């Protein structure tokens, strides 16, 4: 069930009515039923995978929690020596580690087999072919909805239980809700159990202001996705469809359009998800915060896909040692994180290289470039980030590295073609309005300007008059796109 369908809006409406009426005393249970129903629309057979993840995580986290409790009880009951306590803790740690590893093998293993097995087999076939061995194997899986997201959420949960950050959930149905909660199952954000469980356990009355805020957030998300991102995609996809023929300014425009499309497509989905969740009183974390306004690479990744960046920081980078064990180990840890970040996005060499290049750039900035960059004006630093990010998005959006390199050469007019032609100027004029809207939508400029204007009483009154008119116009435009919408999935849906 696509977020950009009338069926989804009808689904949310029915769930919301039941949520504030018949299910007032067990609202979390309705959200679970709704999440299961939503997931079943993606294909009933895929419910098996998410069920395995939820059940195994519940059972193994429960085993780990019981071992925590037994260890505490045994040590608390007896006056053991330090050596004896250390020995007991070591024994219990070993047992807990078995359950943790079992969970990781099952759930990360399931993700790897489904998402990466074909890539691995094709790679092995290519290597063997170099030695004259004809061994051609392939296997194809359809990715279950949200598997990359819910796997990381449950892995984060069981690691937190293992590290005693909080206790394991006793109710398997509540853990199942955390795993499958329908607003964030499609494209995140990658939720944290301790932040969501407390909200799921509360009861919520119908609050007009909260519901209105959620609906407006949804409306803006639909505008970002359907009105801006999907229009930008028409030009970008058209250019990339004939990548071997296009060079110069058309390619420059295509990568600018794609970069804006990717951001507005994903943040549009996030705003729809956050808006729906806000109607129910559940606050999802913001996953983007004007990343194209960043002044260096670390800041970009503090603003882009925030939940994924913080997940890798908390569950990979810091456990590996972070920056605690010297410069060389820190560099190693950064490269591991960014290798995994690239692989997480997809089973292709382009994603792996894209991730590694970001890691290398972060290392270069950390070692020496930041000292130089800090002396430059802010707008120069922002241009630098945009330039690097958009070049790397050429790799991200390419089927293979050969195509990526041809496109990168073409960006600089190195393919022997004219940089600017009548075709380019025609499309630039045609798409300039939507590009301007996209640029304003991707920066905090409009919000900052409105906040400043509101300080003037007269201008504030004018804004209060114009605001509902603008909302009605956006609502009319979005509704027309929803009614006439052909299926155009979110870009990150494939991850």
Place of tokens 């894209």: 354
d(CA 370, CA 150): 36
Q: Name all contacts of 311-318 with Cβ < 8 Å and 24+ positions apart.
A: 311/152, 311/156, 311/190, 312/337, 312/340, 312/341, 313/337, 314/156, 315/155, 315/156, 315/159, 316/340
Q: Is 56 within 8 Å of 106 (Cβ atoms)?
A: yes
d(CA 178, CA 160): 14
From residue 14, how far is each of 10, 30, 382, 445 by CA, in Å? 6, 11, 45, 37
CA-nearest of 27, 29, 6, 7 to 17 is 27
d(CA 149, CA 115): 13
d(CA 87, CA 435): 64
CA-nearest of 472, 466, 468 to 453 is 466
DSSP conformation class of 227: I
What are the tokens at 339?
A: 């290798």
d(CA 435, CA 398): 22
Q: Is 182 within 8 Å of 50 (Cβ atoms)?
A: no
345 annotated active-site = yes
CA-nearest of 310, 226, 239 to 271 is 226
What are the tokens at 235?
A: 């030009």
Contacts of 243 (CB under 8 A, 6+ apart): 398, 403, 406, 407
Buried b (16+ CB within 10 A) or exposed e, 454-471: eeeeeeeeeeeeeeeeee
Residue of 184, 305, 345, 426 with catalytic role: 345
Q: Is 230 within 8 Å of 488 (Cβ atoms)?
A: yes
Buried b (16+ CB within 10 A) or exposed e, 84-101: eeeebeeebeeebeebbe
Task: Give the max Cα distance, the chain.
Answer: 86
**How wide is the angle at C-alpha 427 spanned by C-alphas 423 and 428, nearest 5°?**
115
SS3 485: coil
Residues forming the active site: 345
């Amino acid at each position: 069930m696509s977020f950009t369908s009338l069926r989804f809006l009808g689904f949310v409406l029915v769930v919301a009515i039941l949520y504030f009426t018949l299910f007032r005393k067990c609202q979390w249970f309705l959200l679970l039923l709704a999440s299961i129903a939503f997931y079943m629309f993606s294909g009933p057979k895929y419910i098996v995978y998410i069920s395995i993840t939820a059940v195994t995580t519940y059972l193994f986290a429960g085993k780990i929690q019981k071992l925590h409790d037994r260890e505490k009880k045994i040590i608390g009951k007896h006056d053991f020596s330090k050596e004896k306590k250390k020995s007991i803790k070591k024994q219990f740690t070993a047992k807990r580690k078995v359950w943790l590893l079992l969970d990781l093998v099952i759930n990360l293993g399931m993700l790897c087999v489904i998402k990466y097995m074909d890539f691995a087999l094709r790679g092995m076939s290519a290597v063997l072919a170099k030695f004259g061995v004809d061994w051609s194997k392939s296997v194809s899986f359809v990715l279950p909805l949200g598997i990359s997201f819910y796997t990381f959420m449950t892995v984060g949960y069981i690691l937190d239980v293992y590290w005693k950050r909080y206790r394991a959930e006793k109710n398997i149905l509540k853990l199942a809700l955390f795993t499958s909660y329908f607003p964030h199952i499609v494209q995140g954000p990658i939720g944290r159990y301790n932040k969501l469980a407390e909200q799921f356990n509360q009861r919520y009355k119908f609050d007009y202001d909260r519901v209105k805020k959620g609906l407006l957030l949804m409306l803006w998300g639909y505008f970002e996705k359907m009105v801006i991102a999907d229009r930008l995609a028409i030009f970008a996809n058209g250019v990339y469809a004939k990548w071997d023929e296009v060079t110069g300014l058309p390619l420059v425009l295509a990568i600018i359009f794609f970069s804006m499309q990717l951001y507005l497509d994903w943040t549009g989905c996030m705003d729809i998800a956050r808006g729906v969740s806000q109607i129910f009183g559940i606050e999802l974390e913001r996953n983007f915060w004007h990343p194209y306004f960043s002044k260096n690479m670390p800041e970009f990744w503090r603003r882009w896909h925030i939940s994924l960046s913080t997940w890798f920081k908390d569950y990979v980078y810091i456990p590996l040692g972070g920056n605690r064990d010297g410069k060389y180990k820190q560099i190693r840890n950064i490269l591991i994180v960014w290798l995994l970040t690239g692989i997480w996005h997809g089973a292709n060499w382009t994603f792996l290289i894209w991730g590694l290049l970001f890691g290398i750039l972060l290392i270069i900035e950390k070692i020496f470039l930041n000292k130089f960059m800090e002396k430059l004006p802010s707008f120069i630093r922002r241009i630098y980030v945009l330039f690097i990010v958009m070049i790397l998005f050429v790799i991200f959006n390419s089927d293979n590295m050969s195509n990526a390199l041809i496109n990168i050469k073409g960006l600089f007019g190195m393919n022997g073609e004219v940089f600017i032609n009548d075709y380019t100027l025609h499309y630039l004029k045609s798409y300039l309005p939507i590009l301007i809207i996209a640029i304003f939508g991707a920066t905090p400029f409009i919000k900052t300007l409105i906040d400043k204007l509101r300080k003037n009483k007269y201008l504030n009154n004018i804004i209060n008059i114009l605001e509902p008119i603008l909302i009605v116009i956006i609502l009319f435009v979005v509704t027309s796109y929803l009614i006439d919408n052909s299926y155009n999935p979110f870009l990150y849906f494939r991850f």
